[in-house]
Amino acid sequence: MSFKGIDMSIDVIILAAGQGTRMKSDLPKPLHPLLGKPIINYVLAAAAPLVDNPPVVVVGYGGDQIKKSLGDQARFAEQADLLGTGHAVQQAEELLKGKSDLVLVVYGDMPLVRTKTLSDLIETQKNNPGPLTLLSLEEKNPRGFGRISRDSTGKILAIVEEAEATPEQLKITELNAGMYCFKADWLWQSLSKLDLSPKGEYYLTDLVEMASREELSIASVSAEDPEELLGINTRVHLAETCLVLRHRINHEWMLSGVSITDPISTYIDSDVQIGQDTVVLPNTYLQGSTEIGKNCTIGPGTRIFNSLVGDHCEIEFSVIEESRIENGVDIGPFSHLRKGAHLGPGVHVGNFGEIKESYLGEGSKMGHFSYLGNAQVGKDVNIGAGTITCNYDGEKKHQTVIKDGVFIGSDSMLIAPLEIGENASTGAGSVVTKDVPPDTVVVGAPARQIRKKTKK
């Protein structure tokens, strides 16, 4: 129980103004993609459940790009000159002063931090009579983090930045993660008292020494899992972070009933959804906003991006982009569904098929090396081997409509715009230039009607 009661209002500040020089990139560091989302979106997602108002992101380098990318998920404060982490927090004062009891400060380059860790920080601070609680971690490899200096009784005295540490202090293995929960009024008062560091920056970490000199109580929370606090400064760190996140995501899916036969070669973006009893085979990439249903077999060697896949589907060695696949479809090996492909229930697409902006109705089959672009295909249609919708006349794209029950013979060229009526057939090698009435057989180049079908 907090002696102050637990109903304290909280605001979150995410520091993301730094240039990220060591990334050697034109893209601002917070926007570098990590399993389908920018780095900073992970920090935002971890913090957002803890507060009522959107977090304040402090932006500087590449600020306009970051604002555009995050939109109304965040509020923004600008840091025109990058004068350090203390100065960065100060830029949020105008927006937040007098608005909340507590302020949580997190760094925008630590995407693995969990909501639970941040809420532990807040809960500890709620019970701390002093002005701040910091997050620490025990690590042999200090990776440039500030060291936490304590006196012989264990009281926190200061955070010593690596550049300013004595050889003795460099040996300290208790490190500053860079996440803090402050009592808001103390924070705003104290920031203006910060002195310039030897590096010419206002260090947020100097507030710790300030509180200690004022004899105020500084609490700490020790991170249970130091992996959460991998910060990204270089592209090597980005890859290391990606690996940890990937294992985390794969692990969660396996615990919720998805089989992943080779987690090491399986890449599942953080917003993907997968149904129970689906099996994901090696070398598979499930990306963006993809949703996969139940009891599917995906892979090996498959990439699915921003697509919806129903239940009981099998997709092998294929690439699926911005497509919709209904229940019981099987695809591959080696097919490519491009933007706007929509396969109805039970459709079969075999090898070397390419489909773009097209619908195939229930039970239709396209077994071997065909191209469908801008086509509307009905139910139970057979698309013979090597069929091509010639949808582009050099200037415009045109539609091909193929009605229910049509049989397209092998190697047919369908010159759009074109409509092929119900239950019609084209002979092998036909070049179809004109609409085909229902129940009619056409053959040749250009294709001509040879007979009407007798209804069965």
What residues are annotated to the active site?
368
Partner that binds at residue 363, options Ca ion, ligand UD1, none, CB closer than 5 to 8 Å by kind: none
Q: Which of 84, 299, 310, 373 binds ligand UD1 (CB under 6 A)?
A: 84
**What does 76 interact with, of ligand UD1, Ca ion, none (CB < 5 to 8 A by kind)?**
none
**Contact partner, 108, from Ca ion, ligand UD1, none, Cβ < 5-8 Å per class:** ligand UD1
Length of the chain counted residue by residue? 456
Q: Mark residues 228-267: x for contact with Ca ion by CB under 5 A, - for none.
A: ---x------------------------------------
Q: Least distance in Å: CB of 208 to ligand UD1?
A: 9
Q: Is 204 in the site for ligand UD1 (CB under 6 A)?
A: yes
- Do residues 364 and 381 make contact, with C-beta atoms less than 8 angstroms apart? yes
- Exactly one of 47, 66, 83, 218 binds ligand UD1 (CB under 6 A); which one? 83
Query: Which option in ligand UD1, Ca ion, none does residue 15 bind, with CB closer than 5 to 8 A by kind?
Result: ligand UD1
Closest CB to ligand UD1 among residues 29, 126: 29
333, exposed or middle or buried, with CB in 10 Å at 0-12, 13-18, 19+? middle
Q: Which positions from 44 through 73 interact with Ca ion, judged by CB under 5 A?
A: none
Amino acid in position 177 = A
User: Which among ligand UD1, Ca ion, none contacts residue 424 (Cβ within 5 to 8 A by kind)?
Assistant: none
Q: Which is nearer to Ca ion, 231 or 386 (CB)?
A: 231
Token pair of 40 as six digits? 């900073």
191-229 residues labelled b (16+ CB within 10 A) or e (exposed): beebeebeeebbbbbbbbbbbbeeebebbbbebeebebb
Residues 219-248, interacting with ligand UD1 (CB under 6 A)? 231
Residue that the structure tokens 């692990």 belong to: 251
- Provide, rounded to whole angstroms, the least separation between the CB of residue 167 and ligand UD1: 18
Question: Which residue lies nearer to ligand UD1 by CB, 79 or 318?
Answer: 79
Which of residues 145 and 317 has its CB atom nearest to ligand UD1 in the complex? Answer: 145
- Under the binding rule (CB under 6 A), the answer on residue 82 touching ligand UD1 is yes
Per CB under 6 A, the segment of 65-73, 81-89, 213-221, 307-315 that binds ligand UD1 is 81-89
Q: Which does 423 bind (CB under 5 to 8 A by kind): ligand UD1, Ca ion, none?
A: none
Residue closest to Ca ion, measured at CB = 231
84 binds, among Ca ion, ligand UD1, none (CB under 5 to 8 A by kind): ligand UD1
109 scored as a contact of ligand UD1 (CB under 6 A): yes
Phi, psi of 206 (to 5 degrees): -70, -15
Count of beta carbons in the 10 Å neighbourhood of residue 7: 8
Please identify which residue in 125, 126, 135, 145 interacts with ligand UD1, judged by CB under 6 A: 145
The Cα–Cα gap between 427 and 448 comes to 10
Number of amino acids touching ligand UD1 (CB under 6 A) = 28
Name the one range near ligand UD1 by CB under 6 A: 63-71, 176-184, 317-325, 396-404: 176-184
Among 12, 23, 36, 79, binds ligand UD1 (CB under 6 A): 79
Q: Is 108 in the site for Ca ion (CB under 5 A)?
A: no
Residue 79 interacts, among ligand UD1, Ca ion, none and using kind-specific CB cut-offs from 5 to 8 Å, with ligand UD1
**x/- string (CB under 5 A) for Ca ion, residues 192-231?**
---------------------------------------x
Q: Least distance from C-beta 106 to ligand UD1, angstroms?
A: 9
Whole-number minimum distance, CB 255 to Ca ion, in Å?
32
Among 10, 51, 159, 211, which residue sits at the site for ligand UD1 (rule: CB under 6 A)? Answer: 159
Contact set for ligand UD1, span 1-40 (CB under 6 A): 15-18
Rounded CA gap, 68 and 65, in Å? 5
Query: Which residues make up the interface to ligand UD1 (CB under 6 A)?
Result: 15-18, 58, 60, 79, 82-85, 87-88, 107-109, 145-146, 159, 161, 175-178, 203-205, 231
